[in-house]
Amino acid sequence: MDSGDSGRIRSLVRSATSDIVAASADPRRDIGAERSKSTFSSENLAAFMNGGSEALAKRRRLIAMMQRRPWGDKSQMAFRSREEEHIAGLEGAIGIFELMKNESLSIKDAAEMRTLLFQPGGFELHIGMFIPSILSQGTEEQQAAWLPLCMDLKLIGTYAQTELGHGTFLRGLETVAVYDPVTEQFVVHSPTLTATKWWPGGLGKTCTHAILMARLVTKGKDYGPHAFVVQLRDMATHLPLDGVEVGDIGPKMGYNGVDNGFLRFDHVPVPRDAMLMRYSRVLPDGTYVPPPRENSKASYATMVYVRATIVRDAGDFLGRAATIATRYTSVRRQSSPDAVTGRELQILDYENVYETLVPIVVKSYALKFMGKNMMAMYDGFVKARDRGDFSALPELHALSSGLKAVCTDVASVGIEACRRTCGGQGYSVLSGLPTIYTSYVQNVTWEGDNNVMYLQMARALVKQRLAQGTKANGSGNGISSAAAADWRRPEAVDEALEAVEGYLAEGAIAKLRALSGASPGAGSDPSSVPVEGDAWNQSTMDLVQLATCRCRRVVFDAFVQEVAKAAASPEVEAASRAALEEVCTLFGLLCLRESGADLLESRHVSPDQYRDIKMAFKQSCKQLRSNAVALVDAFGYEDYLLNSAIGRADGNIYEDLLRRAKSSPFNRTETGPGWDSGVLKDLLVGGGVARQASKL
């Protein structure tokens, strides 16, 4: 093509595409317009949401520090192989540990950096379970022996409980620790195939030690699962010790930087003081000393702690997905071109999109507040425990179980819903959404499968209700007198949820009583209601529903409390307060919507009242649509954390997508791996056929 031709062709194309170029929207302008129409300052609300503006500034400083380190570079994260992810996880954890030491940062700062890096690896269980277990169940001497090594990363631990044969049913564990008074050692052994430990994070290739849950047998008596600190690998060679068989269980749906492992023992001796003995003990002669009666459930404290942290983190994960999806859908335009500008509609303006996303933004707020509230409850328990008072533990155990289930269910369903609102881009790892989902969704399973968690809470609720005395006929609590406008009031929401809970509880109790074959004359006798066994197992759906309803109420109450705190805080501007109040109102309406069938079935609301709830919900979603971007900005997530081409704060999504795609190792050569390996080349030009011409 000569230069005259080239000029003519360019001009031809320019005139043919001028309308397309004019209508093509710059996503940066769209996101700017979203921000300018919000009714409050997202920075002001972000300070409240993140514990003050100094905390936000600190986070930015931590990010800057991380970005200066090779392990802090996230640009290739989406393209890593499993081995690369694993190594990156280890390097990141070690890098953060060194930064903490060299820059005199706190453990809290290190935890924050781990969150920001978002590259799980072999140290997760060391930090999340191994150290906390020693802290809560080890004696002072045991803590003094192990903790300094743990904190210095000279010993890396995991938590090995689940076996091939048993996850949920702990009393079914088959690994044994048999005490031998002659050598004053335990002999750890896996007597069956199903006794093989399966799943522990970091066990595969990283850990040197494990907290092993094994049945304690001494003087011929089996005392059930107890915790032991067991060395697995040689500290100098990293090879398994004699009698220990250990390895990685293979790739998973996500979370693949973590080497979840298997573990078997063949008559491995471990010293007597390997048993964590803060509460129960084995004396040198093999006498078992049970925990004092008042804290016989003390080992539950670690479980409660871990579940509390899961509750704490649920809102964070959901909030990240909500931020990405809200920003993307507010700059993504599709269909329905405007008659004047020719620009298509922002997808967030379609009712189906904003009625999906705005409630998820609202749920992220609710879960974040619940997480804060849960940790405050746990801290309160720890203070009491340190005074020897364990009385709050049973209730906290039930509550943390139920909340673990409800918060992780809400978060995982919500993350996937966010992904769907982003169409094809939501399926691309470059969006960040698949990684959030696949490295989050296991939360519904680990630390107690959610169904089992709901059932633990339901058991406590049933017992509580029986203790209070209950109507046996499963009737509701009477019809609400609320008028249309009342459904926006927290009191009306709480009353309705309480009524539904009562209805579900009475229904479940009546069913349990009927299934157990109790005579109608049993009346309100609590002993006629089984909380395990056949009748219980045939009622688990009803019981899960009951626990879900109670948890919804607890989460709603936590939200209302947090709004009250914002109202009392001089730092929170009136406009931020008003926005937060509307978010809380929508959450209340959402709770009512999600309890709709039970509200109607229990006749607490009439069909007309339910229609009022639905209308109020729709109006509130629409109202909050215009603040959607500001509301997610107020979560305060930096681009570094989100690492999403489509969730960028500046809205420059298309340029970033193309830039990231070009940096893929697949694009390292123009020809690509298929050609470079010879497979494509053989097909297209090989096989003895004369070399093809460059063009057909």
Ligand X SMILES: Cc1cc2nc3c(=O)[nH]c(=O)nc-3n(C[C@H](O)[C@H](O)[C@H](O)COP(=O)(O)OP(=O)(O)OC[C@H]3O[C@@H](n4cnc5c(N)ncnc54)[C@H](O)[C@@H]3O)c2cc1C
Candidates 216-224, 285-293, 439-447, 571-579 — which segment interacts with ligand X by CB under 6 A? 439-447
∠ CA 101-105-108, rounded to 5°: 120
Residues 6+ apart with CB under 8 A from 677: none
Q: Which of 24, 67, 81, 168 binds ligand X (CB under 6 A)?
A: 168
Candidates 157-165, 312-320, 405-413, 556-564 — which segment interacts with ligand X by CB under 6 A? 157-165
Residues 6+ apart with CB under 8 A from 21: none
Candidates 40-48, 84-92, 228-236, 447-455 — which segment interacts with ligand X by CB under 6 A? 447-455
CB nearer ligand X, residue 18 or residue 115 = 115
CB of 384 to ligand X, least distance (A): 28
Candidates 171-179, 293-301, 438-446, 598-606 — which segment interacts with ligand X by CB under 6 A? 438-446
Question: Residue 61 in 3-state DSSP?
Answer: helix
> Binding marks (x or -) toward ligand X, 536..565, rule CB under 6 A?
----x-------------------------
Q: Considering only CA atoms, give the Rg of the chain.
A: 29
Candidates 41-49, 443-451, 583-591, 674-682 — which segment interacts with ligand X by CB under 6 A? 443-451
Q: Is residue 647 close enough to count as binding ligand X by CB under 6 A? A: no
Rounded CA gap, 604 and 550, in Å?
16
Residue with tokens 């123009």: 670
CB nearer ligand X, residue 309 or residue 442 = 442
Residues 6+ apart with CB under 8 A from 330: 30, 31, 34, 346, 348, 628, 629, 651
CB of 445 to ligand X, least distance (A): 5
Candidates 61-69, 161-169, 283-291, 505-513 — which segment interacts with ligand X by CB under 6 A? 161-169
For the residues of 162-176, what is the DSSP string, one character each?
A: -BSS-SS-GGG---E
Q: Is residue 160 close enough to count as binding ligand X by CB under 6 A? A: yes
Q: Is residue 456 close enough to count as binding ligand X by CB under 6 A? A: no
Contact 576, 45 (CB under 8 A): yes
Say how far residue 290 (Cα) sits from the centre of its chain. 35
Rounded CA gap, 376 and 378, in Å?
5
Q: Which of 347, 455, 458, 592 binds ligand X (CB under 6 A)?
A: 455
Q: Is residue 194 close enough to count as binding ligand X by CB under 6 A? A: no
Work out the end-to-end distance of the chain between its first and last CA atoms, rounded to an integer number of angstroms: 19
Candidates 155-163, 352-360, 395-403, 489-497 — which segment interacts with ligand X by CB under 6 A? 155-163
Rounded CA gap, 243 and 40, in Å?
64
Candidates 142-150, 440-448, 461-469, 485-493 — which segment interacts with ligand X by CB under 6 A? 440-448
Candidates 308-316, 429-437, 446-454, 511-519 — which segment interacts with ligand X by CB under 6 A? 446-454
CB nearer ligand X, residue 393 or residue 455 = 455
Rounded CA gap, 391 and 626, in Å?
47
Q: Is residue 162 close enough to count as binding ligand X by CB under 6 A? A: yes
CB of 199 to ligand X, least distance (A): 3
CB of 185 to ligand X, least distance (A): 24
CB of 305 to ligand X, least distance (A): 15
Element housing 188 (H / E): strand 185-189
CB of 643 to ligand X, least distance (A): 21
- Residue number of the CB atom closest to ligand X: 167
Q: Is residue 452 close enough to count as binding ligand X by CB under 6 A? A: yes
Rounded CA gap, 562 and 581, in Å?
10
Rounded CA gap, 684 and 692, in Å?
8
| DSSP 8-class letter at 442 | G
Contact 133, 211 (CB under 8 A): yes
CB of 269 to ligand X, least distance (A): 23
Q: Is the alpha carbon torsion for 498, 504, 508, 511 positive or negative?
A: positive
Q: Is residue 439 close enough to count as binding ligand X by CB under 6 A? A: no
Rounded CA gap, 466 and 463, in Å?
5
Q: Is residue 255 close enough to count as binding ligand X by CB under 6 A? A: yes
Tally of CA atoms within 13 A in the half-sphere of 626 that contains its CB: 11
CB of 448 to ligand X, least distance (A): 6
Residue with tokens 């639905």: 614
> Binding marks (x or -) toward ligand X, 462..501, rule CB under 6 A?
----------------------------------------
Q: Which of 91, 273, 449, 638 binds ligand X (CB under 6 A)?
A: 449
Dihedral in degrees, nearest 10, Cα atoms 95, 89, 367, 381: -70
Site size toward ligand X (CB under 6 A) is 23
CB of 72 to ligand X, least distance (A): 25
Q: Is residue 125 close enough to count as binding ligand X by CB under 6 A? A: yes
CB of 311 to ligand X, least distance (A): 16
Rounded CA gap, 133 and 230, in Å?
13
Candidates 148-156, 441-449, 600-608, 644-652 — which segment interacts with ligand X by CB under 6 A? 441-449
Amino acid present at 21? V
CB of 262 to ligand X, least distance (A): 11
Element housing 455 (H / E): helix 450-468
CB of 231 to ligand X, least distance (A): 17
Q: Is the alpha carbon torsion for 675, 679, 684, 685 positive or negative?
A: positive
Q: Is residue 227 close enough to count as binding ligand X by CB under 6 A? A: no
CB nearer ligand X, residue 265 or residue 328 = 265
Q: Is the alpha carbon torsion for 380, 386, 387, 392 positive or negative?
A: positive
Residues 6+ apart with CB under 8 A from 79: 663, 664, 665, 666
CB of 115 to ligand X, least distance (A): 18
Q: Is residue 199 close enough to count as binding ligand X by CB under 6 A? A: yes
Tally of CA atoms within 13 A in the half-sphere of 585 that contains its CB: 22
| Interacting residue ranges for ligand X, rule: CB under 6 A | 125, 158-162, 167-168, 199-201, 252, 255, 260, 442, 445-446, 448-449, 451-452, 455, 540
